[in-house]
Amino acid sequence: MARRESILWLEMARRDLADAEDMLVEEKWYRAAFFAHQAAEKALKALYPEVLKKEPPRSHTIGDMIRELKSAGLDFGGGDREAQMASLSKYYTVTKYPDAANGPPWESVDPQEAEKAVRVAREVVTLAKRILEGKGP
């Protein structure tokens, strides 16, 4: 059974993913992308206590977390899949700050980009859930 901390991180990830999906329905593209990033970040942080036996980092950079978790033997699917997951990190800043993307956040993400971000986040959350349930990647 997974540690309580891991279960809580994963539950937060699931809730952020639900918020991301709600934002798609409401056509709030930048908010969907923001919550997609949050969901993926928290899903990866859920793995730290179980896989690496340590506290999750205070970082928001998904690529760094993937590299660190891979060093413990986790498989994220390699190349393009990992690059798509890592690309979610940009939404932490451009959707949060009014000038991070040289314009307002609501102009920084289009519908296709938001949908892709949510799809990728869903993959990360599903992967983390499978690992914590002992079903592997």
Q: What is the pTM for the complete model shown?
A: 0.92
Token reading at 3: 């540690």
Q: Which two tokens stand for residue 9?
A: 């991180």
**Taking the domain 4-132, which CATH number applies?**
1.20.120.330
Distances (CA, A) of 17 to 2, 40, 76, 135: 20, 8, 19, 21
- 10 in Cβ contact with 71 (< 8 Å): no
For 65-116, the pLDDT digits (tens) are: 999 999 998 888 878 888 999 999 999 988 888 877 778 888 889 999 999 9
pLDDT tens, position by position, 65-77: 999 999 998 888 8
Could you report the per-residue pLDDT of 14-63, keeping only the tens digit for each?
999 999 999 999 999 999 999 999 999 999 999 999 998 999 999 999 99
Torsion angle of C-alpha atoms 30, 75, 56, 67, degrees rounded to 10: -80
